[in-house]
Structures are given as structure tokens and as C-alpha cells.
Amino acid sequence: MTTATTIKVSTRVRDRIKAQAGAFRSMDEYLDQLMDAEERRQMVAALRRAVQQTSDDELRAWQDESDAWEQASLRDGAEQ
């Protein structure tokens, strides 16, 4: 059994949540999905920032290492 709690929101916000949750999911499920989506959005934004801050030398080094691993994997697969 899960524990429930009450959060204070305006009637307007409660009604919006209820309307968007619709008849096919609970407000709890809807809010959980919203939180998951926001967490994904934040992770993607952090990844974008990290990629933008990566120097050309670091990108080349990553690409070289990635290519080496791919070639090793292809060789291993061909030997089997």
C-alpha cells in the first residue's frame, strides 16, 4: 500500500491537473509522468551544455576511441 499525502495548490491548478489527467489515469500518475518528462528534459539540457563545452580536441579523441572500439568489436565478430 502506498502512502498518500496532501499538497496545497490553488483550485485552478488542481482543476487543470484533473482535466489534463483525464479519465484514463489518476492525478498521481499524471504528475509522475510530468516529473519524469521534466527530469528527462533537464538531463538532455545538461548533455547539450556538456557537448557545447567540449573542445574540438576532446571530440576528436572521443571519436578516435569510439572508432577503435567499433573496429575491435567488428574484428571480434568476424572471428567467431
Dist CA 71 CA 29 (whole Å): 44
Residue 76 confidence (pLDDT): 78
Please give the pLDDT value at position 63: 95
Residues 6+ positions from 8 with CB-CB distance below 8 Å: none
The confidence score (pLDDT) of residue 67 equals 95
What is the reported pLDDT for 22? 92
Pairwise CA distance, residues 18 & 72, whole Å? 53
Cell 490553488 locates to 10
Confidence of residue 78 (pLDDT cuts 50, 70, 90): low
pTM, rounded to two decimals: 0.67
Please write the tens of the pLDDT for every residue from 25-77.
999 999 999 999 999 999 999 999 999 999 999 999 999 999 999 999 888 77
DSSP string, 24-48: SS-HHHHHHHHHHHHHHHHHHHHHH
